[in-house]
Each structure stands twice: as structure tokens, then as C-alpha cells.
Structure 1
């Protein structure tokens, strides 16, 4: 296999890994949005029920008063002087008509809410199964892909011994992380980190793994072509989710400065019960891995190649620097 073909194959695996992360993120967001919409519909139908229930109560009271007025009118005359009660009779009939209409509306609102509630419960069961799949099987697939990419990257760069190559091949076929490239046994399964060791067997720090990522001053970046102007311009990931990601990035940058390894990010994420898309190591990948912000040096400033949304959030939060890759530095 030629080096070019091998690198392309690894890049394809990394792209699949990134797509799975994006799919899990978008699917979770979609499930949450549908759940909110279903609840809004149920709340609206419940409000309609309350409204028409109150209308029925008012209609019954109105009919009672109209009936009493009509009966008083009928009993006010005698045989020689019968009363004229046409107005009272019409008021009584109108009250009965309004009451019947309110009762019909209340029945329809009740039936509609019951029908929607039943369908919502069926959907909730299906959605919960998908949610469990996203939290388990999808996460496992992402972790397995990451381990394969790590093994192949190490092999392609010549950073593995013959034993490590054999272990990597076994890992690729068996779906577990083993061998010298991992620096540890694979009993922990997909939730373990895939730290790449150096020639001495020491796991590289996060800073050593991506020396091409540097902190760039935001005021040196040209935002003139930015398509991001307000919250409506955030599509794949909401602005609120990005802001939450920046909160984690603050901690990740601190750990990087302290010489942390990828295993530490896994341990911290696992200790806090974070999902794959919410994890510290996912934030690290977004800003320091294959999805890093990319800039091009043009004179004494930087032109944005990708990452406008993250840069806009950083600027709004008052950050002065941002981790990014300068492709022509």
C-alpha cells in the first residue's frame, strides 16, 4: 500500500468518525426539539380543555338564569291576561344553544388531547430507544473508530514497533484497543482513551499531539467575510450549545497548559457522566483535532478558512485568543 493511499484511507476513517459525532449531536438535538414541540401541543390542548370547561360552567349558569327568568315571566300573568315572554324565551333558547356548543368544544378538546397523549407515549418509547442507541452503540462506534485511526496514524508515521504493528492489526480486526500503540491493555473497551506513546512508551501530552495548533489573537483575524450575524445563523449546532462548549474549552486549555494527556480528558468526562458529544475529549477534538479552526496568514492578519461560528462566539464572550491552525505559517 502506498503512503498516499494509506493516508487517504485514514482520513476517510477520521471523516466517518467526525460524521458520527455530528450525527449523534444533531440526532440528540432533534429528539429534544421534537419532545419540546410535543409538550407544547399537549399544553395547548390542556389549556383548550380548561377554557371550554370554564365556558361550560358559565353556560350552565347562564342557562339557569335564563330559564328562571322565562319561568317567572310565564307565571306572571293569568288566564285573561297571558304574559308576553317572547324575549325571555329567546334568551333561554340562545343560552341553551351556547351551552351545547361549549359542551361539544370541551368534548372535542378532551378527545384531541387523549389522542395526542396516546401517540406521544408511543413516540416517547421509540425516541427513548433511539436515545439509548445514541448514548451506547453510537458512542462505542466513535470510540472504536478513534482507536483505529490512532493505530493507523502511528503505523503510517513509523511510530510503532513490529510488535505494535501486529497489535494494531489485531485491534483493527477485533474491535478492541490493544498493543504497544495504546500503551495499555484493552480491557476497558471503547470508553478508554487512545493516547499515542512516544518512542519511550510515554503517552504524549495533548500539547505534543497537536503542535500545529497555536493561540491566535482574535483582533488579528479578519471577520469581514463572516456569514454569522445573529443566533439564526447557527444551524448544525445552536449558539447556546457552542457557548456551553466554550465553558468546557476553558478547562481543556488549562489542562493542556498543565501537560494533561488524552486519557485524563476521558477520565474527567467519565467521572462527570458526560456523553460523547458533551465530553472534554470531544471539545479537544473540535478545537485541536481534525475540526480545528483553520486560518491563512495574509500580511499581518489572518483570513478565516473555517470556524466562523466558533470565532463569533469567542468574540462575543470577550475572548482575546483562540486555538487555531495556521495553514501557511
Structure 2
């Protein structure tokens, strides 16, 4: 993979940075809301419901005791010539005992659900820990990296090209954030013809003319004595 990257839009990098920030914020907010609901449910199962049903069991036992006392009282009132009605107190006792049994069953279920829910919470935390780390650590680091990249690119675009040289690639491509001065420089440089090859030897105006032979005597050059 090439270590270089072709950046066509700094605004796209800024948009990615904003999208990552929103993703991190929304993800952490959602995880926080779920975590708050989990804690509330844990307290509800561990404290509220057991206390409630224990109180209900206590009260319903008192109702059972009261109903039994009423049945016993009616039995004592029974005489050879008088037989009090037993159907009503017996029915009240039956209902009180059924209510007590229901409260005891619900307390047992609450303790069972508490154990199962705690296990589910452990599994949930294990499944979401990577997502939480991603939103809380990895994404913020990526955002900071994008900020540095954008700042470096914008600083690069603000640098004036060297005199007589080419313009920056971003200026030549008309990238966002390029100043008009850099754009004009880029256009002028692109319109100019390339300079002559430095390897070509320039033509000497005197080249090709007859030059005096260094071995020739001056007198001979003049035609004799």
C-alpha cells in the first residue's frame, strides 16, 4: 500500500471528523442510557422487590393467623343447640393462605430472576465493552488525528510557492481553501512553456568563423616579409 494519499477535499475530512464526533457522542449516550436502566433494574431486583415481598409475606401471615383465629373462634361457639356459620371464615382462611403462598412464590422468583439478570448483565458488559472502548477512546483519537491532518493541509495550502517555481498540487487542482493568489500562480505556471534543456550547449556567434591558426607566424599571416 502506498504511504501517500490523494486528498481531493479538505471539507470531506472535516465532514468525516464531525460524523465521527456525532457517532461517538450518540453511542456513548445510548450505552449510558442502557447502563442506567441496567443499574435501576439490578437495584429493583436486589432491593425493592425482595423488601416488598418480604413485607407482603409478613402481612399475609398475619391475615392467615387472623383467619385461623376466626375459624377457631367459630368452632368454640358451636353448641348442641347452636351451630355458627363456618363457610365465611373458612373461605377467608383459604384466600389468606393462597395469598401467602403467592407472595412466597413471588419472592422465590425474584431471587431467581436476580441471579439470572446478573448473569445477563455480565454477558452484556462483555459484548459491549469493545464498542464502548471504540466510542470512548479510538474514535476521539481518530478525530484528533483528522484535526492535525486538516490543520497540516490548510497550512500547506497557505504556503506561497517558491518564486519562478511550480505551485502546490492543491492550488493547481483548485482545492478548497486555496487563495486566489495561489490559483493565479498555478495558472500562470501551467501556461508557461517549459524552460530550455540545460544540457543543450548555447550557440556561439563566433562559432564557424575562421580563427587564426595559433601555430601560424604573424608574418606569414600577413603574406611574407
Superposed pair shares fold, TM > 0.5: yes
Separation in structure 1 between the aligned mates of residue 123 and residue 161 of structure 2, nearest angstrom: 52
**Residue equivalent to 1:249:** none
- Is the alpha carbon distance of 1:160 and 1:65 closer, same or farther for their aligned partners in structure 2, counting shifts above 3 Å? farther
**Residue equivalent to 2:19:** 19
Specify which structure has the higher proportion of helix: 2
Greater displacement, 93-102 / 131-140: 131-140
**Residue equivalent to 2:50:** 49
**Residue equivalent to 1:148:** 149
Cα deviation digits, residues 173-199 of structure 1 (max 9, x gap): xxxxxxxxxxxxxxxxxxxxxxxxxxx
The CA deviation at 1:126 is 3.3
The CA deviation at 1:21 is 1.5
Cα deviation digits, residues 227-271 of structure 1 (max 9, x gap): xxxxxxxxxxxxxxxxxxxxxxxxxxxxxxxxxxxxxxxxxxxxx
**Residue equivalent to 1:95:** 96
Q: Is the contact made by 1:48 and 1:109 (CA closer than 8 Å) also made in structure 2? A: yes
Separation in structure 2 between the aligned mates of residue 14 and residue 160 of structure 1, nearest angstrom: 25
**Residue equivalent to 1:124:** 125
**Residue equivalent to 2:35:** 35
Specify which structure has the higher proportion of strand: 1
Q: Which runs of 5+ in 2 are unaligned?
A: 1-5, 163-225
State which structure, 1 or 2, has the greater radius of gyration over its C-alpha atoms. Answer: 2
**Residue equivalent to 2:203:** none
- Is the alpha carbon distance of 1:54 and 1:160 closer, same or farther for their aligned partners in structure 2, counting shifts above 3 Å? farther
Separation in structure 1 between the aligned mates of residue 103 and residue 16 of structure 2, nearest angstrom: 57
The CA deviation at 1:58 is 0.8
RMSD: 2.8
**Residue equivalent to 1:10:** 10
Q: Which has the higher contact order (CA 8 A, sep 6+)?
A: 2
- Is the alpha carbon distance of 1:92 and 1:160 closer, same or farther for their aligned partners in structure 2, counting shifts above 3 Å? farther
Count of paired positions: 155
Q: Is the contact made by 2:28 and 2:136 (CA closer than 8 Å) also made in structure 1? A: no
Separation in structure 1 between the aligned mates of residue 160 and residue 33 of structure 2, nearest angstrom: 45
The CA deviation at 1:49 is 3.2
Q: Is the contact made by 2:53 and 2:104 (CA closer than 8 Å) also made in structure 1? A: yes
Q: Is the contact made by 1:7 and 1:156 (CA closer than 8 Å) also made in structure 2? A: no
Separation in structure 2 between the aligned mates of residue 160 and residue 71 of structure 1, nearest angstrom: 108
TM-score, normalised to structure 1, is: 0.41
**Residue equivalent to 2:187:** none
Separation in structure 2 between the aligned mates of residue 44 and residue 145 of structure 1, nearest angstrom: 44
The CA deviation at 1:7 is 7.2
**Residue equivalent to 1:73:** 74
Cα deviation digits, residues 5-35 of structure 1 (max 9, x gap): x774222112111211221111111111111
Q: Which runs of 5+ in 1 are unaligned?
A: 1-5, 162-329
- Is the alpha carbon distance of 1:159 and 1:123 closer, same or farther for their aligned partners in structure 2, counting shifts above 3 Å? farther
The CA deviation at 1:100 is 1.7
Separation in structure 1 between the aligned mates of residue 124 and residue 160 of structure 2, nearest angstrom: 50
- Is the alpha carbon distance of 1:50 and 1:159 closer, same or farther for their aligned partners in structure 2, counting shifts above 3 Å? farther
Superposed structure 1 runs of 4+ greater than 4 Å apart: 80-83
Separation in structure 2 between the aligned mates of residue 54 and residue 159 of structure 1, nearest angstrom: 81
Separation in structure 1 between the aligned mates of residue 155 and residue 22 of structure 2, nearest angstrom: 25
- Is the alpha carbon distance of 1:149 and 1:160 closer, same or farther for their aligned partners in structure 2, counting shifts above 3 Å? farther
TM-score, normalised to structure 2, is: 0.58
